[in-house]
């Protein structure tokens, strides 16, 4: 059996959870079947999985530059399937790949699977990035989901949202969670050189994520006024949707004395170091279909404070592996962080429970086996 995976992100160009998901799913599936990845970029790797990057064709709008990301997505998708698909199934990730999946099904009669990592109707702030092109990205997502033979939802919440916004029978939607590489994601002490390079202190709380409204970093910034003094806040935040939002967050950070913002992509081992030495990991998202970042922190035995939204509630168990708070509530974030910082025994218990939960429910081997079984059901 062979699958062609189509998506925007794949190493070395990853800026979000969907790219992380595809990377590990493709690698794990390649142990039990043939895998081909088609993505945006200049990658060109042979073996299993094979990886082929597709560069932008440079199609530009003379009317509104905000249309360009959508035009670029559609033309790149067509490039990906123009020469045919030599696979048994095609599996796309997010609206950035769904147009290619739809076209492959119509042109070549190949079963089409679409994984939803988020839904466009629930991300209205994308208008700031895409302008009226947001209507087109929403249409592409609708086209893909309503024509896919199977839709993978990364959480139960995502399944409910899909059924709410799109006209499809429930039996076509399958819940398969994101996973994590347990051999790679484990505690890794921070080196002195890394601490010195970024000015990181021994006691800090951590945020990892894109600087976008969805990720809610502004609420963590506001919470710092109520977090116990002496604790540093470290942001590993890169990959903004819009410069305007990023600049607004930078201005808020400039008014604080205890925040370090690492505004560049780091190596995986550097992210491991950041997670492993943190006292608390904070995920203040206002919309999060799953949230791989929470798995990464939990695998490193770090207590999590996270918004009680979306798929986060299926990952973080309140009072057992972390503390859940109301979204957009800086005061609750601060109270939860302070509780963990003050109660060392409680914090250690949360960390131990977190690792155990990840090991039990979120291994990529298990997720790959479920995915392969789904493929087989379509053949």
Domain ranges of the chain: 2-179+363-376, 192-361
Residue 274: which H helix or E strand, with range?
helix 268-277
Q: What is the pLDDT along the chain (379 residues), one digit of tens a residue?
A: 999 999 999 999 887 788 989 999 999 999 999 999 999 999 999 999 999 999 988 777 777 677 788 888 999 999 999 999 999 999 999 999 999 999 999 999 999 999 998 888 887 777 777 777 788 888 999 999 999 999 999 999 899 999 999 999 999 999 999 999 999 999 999 999 999 999 999 999 999 999 999 999 999 999 999 998 889 999 999 988 889 999 999 999 999 989 999 999 899 899 999 999 999 999 999 989 888 899 999 999 999 999 999 889 999 999 999 999 999 999 999 999 999 999 999 999 999 999 999 999 999 999 999 999 999 999 9
Cα separation, 311 vs 17, whole angstroms = 13
Cis peptide before 49 (omega within 30 of 0): yes
The pTM score is 0.77
Provide the 8-state DSSP code for 318: B
Residue appearing with tokens 């990529």: 364
Evaluate whether 2-179+363-376 and 192-361 have a shared fold: yes
Pick the CATH number of 2-179+363-376 from 3.40.50.2000, 3.40.120.10, 3.30.300.160, 3.40.50.300: 3.40.50.2000
- Burial of 139-170, coded b for 16+ CB within 10 Å and e otherwise, reads ebbbbbbebbbbbbbbbebbbebbbebbeeee
Cα separation, 5 vs 123, whole angstroms = 24
Residue 122 CB contacts under 8 Å (≥ 6 apart), including other chains: 161, 165, 287
Starting at the earlier edge strand, list the strands of the sheet with 50-54. 44-45, 50-54, 34-40, 2-6, 89-93, 112-116, 150-153, 173-175
CATH topology of domain 192-361: Rossmann fold (3.40.50)
Residue appearing with tokens 């218990």: 349
């Amino acid at each position: 059996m062979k699958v062609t995976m189509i998506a925007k992100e794949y190493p070395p160009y990853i800026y979000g959870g969907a790219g992380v998901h595809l990377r590990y799913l493709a690698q794990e599936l390649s142990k039990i079947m043939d895998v081909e990845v088609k993505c945006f970029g200049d990658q060109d790797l042979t073996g299993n999985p094979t990886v082929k990057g597709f560069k932008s064709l440079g199609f530009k709008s003379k009317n509104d530059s905000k249309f360009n990301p959508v035009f670029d997505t559609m033309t790149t998708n067509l490039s990906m399937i123009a020469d045919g698909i030599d696979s048994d199934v095609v599996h796309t990730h997010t609206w950035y790949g769904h147009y290619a999946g739809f076209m492959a099904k119509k042109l070549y009669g190949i079963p089409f699977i679409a994984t939803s990592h988020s839904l466009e109707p629930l991300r209205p702030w994308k208008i700031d990035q895409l302008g009226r092109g947001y209507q087109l990205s929403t249409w592409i997502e609708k086209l893909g989901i309503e024509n896919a033979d199977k839709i993978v939802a990364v959480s139960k919440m995502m399944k409910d949202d899909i059924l709410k916004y799109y006209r499809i029978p429930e039996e076509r939607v399958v819940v398969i969670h994101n996973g994590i590489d347990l051999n790679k994601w484990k505690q890794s002490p921070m080196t002195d050189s890394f601490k010195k390079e970024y000015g990181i202190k021994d006691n800090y709380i951590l945020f990892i994520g894109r600087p976008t409204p969805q990720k809610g970093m502004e609420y963590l910034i506001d919470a710092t006024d109520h977090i116990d003094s002496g604790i540093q806040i470290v942001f590993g935040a890169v990959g903004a949707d819009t410069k305007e939002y990023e600049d607004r967050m930078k201005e808020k950070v400039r008014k604080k004395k205890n925040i370090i913002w690492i505004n560049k992509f780091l190596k995986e081992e550097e992210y491991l170091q950041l997670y492993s030495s943190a006292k608390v990991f904070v995920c203040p998202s206002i919309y999060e279909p799953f949230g791989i970042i929470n798995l990464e922190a939990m695998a490193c035995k770090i207590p999590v404070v996270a918004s009680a939204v979306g798929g986060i509630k299926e990952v973080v168990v309140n009072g057992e592996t972390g503390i859940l708070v109301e979204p957009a509530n800086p005061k609750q974030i601060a109270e939860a962080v302070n509780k963990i910082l003050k109660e060392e025994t409680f914090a250690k218990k949360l960390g131990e429970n977190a690792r155990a939960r990840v090991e039990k429910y979120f291994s990529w081997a298990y997720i790959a086996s479920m995915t392969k079984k789904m493929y087989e059901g379509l053949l």
